[in-house]
Amino acid sequence: MNRSRAPAFLVLALVAALVGGFAGYLARPSAAVVGQLPFETVITRGENLRGLEQLLVPTAKESFNVMAAGAAIGALVGLALAFVLPRR
């Protein structure tokens, strides 16, 4: 891999990871009464919840896991595309 190819390679992987993370965020599970949890709750895995809201911690953790899996899959797709796309 030459030096001019490395930045484009990393940029494609990063963009694909962000798109995958966003898709994972949109696909996160809903809680029974409140629906989908806000981003702050998801990104902290429910650590900011207090009182009865702590019942939503498993949903927050699952939502975070879905978002992280989306980002990881997106990064892998981006890396695969970087190898498959024709080099200029």
Higher-scoring residue by pLDDT: 87, 21: 21
Residue 2 above 90 pLDDT?
A: no
Provide the pLDDT for residue 58.
94
DSSP per-residue codes, the chain = --TTHHHHHHHHHHHHHHHHHHHHHHTPPEETTTEEPPHHHHHTTTTT--GGGGGGHHHHHHHHHHHHHHHHHHHHHHHHHHHHSPP-
Per-domain boundaries in the chain:
25-84
pLDDT of residue 8: 77
pLDDT at 85: 81
Percent of the chain with pLDDT over 90: 69
Average pLDDT over residues 9-33: 91
For residue 80, how many other CB atoms are within 10 A of its CB? 13
Q: Which two tokens stand for residue 37?
A: 């949890």
Joined tokens for residue 45: 């895995």
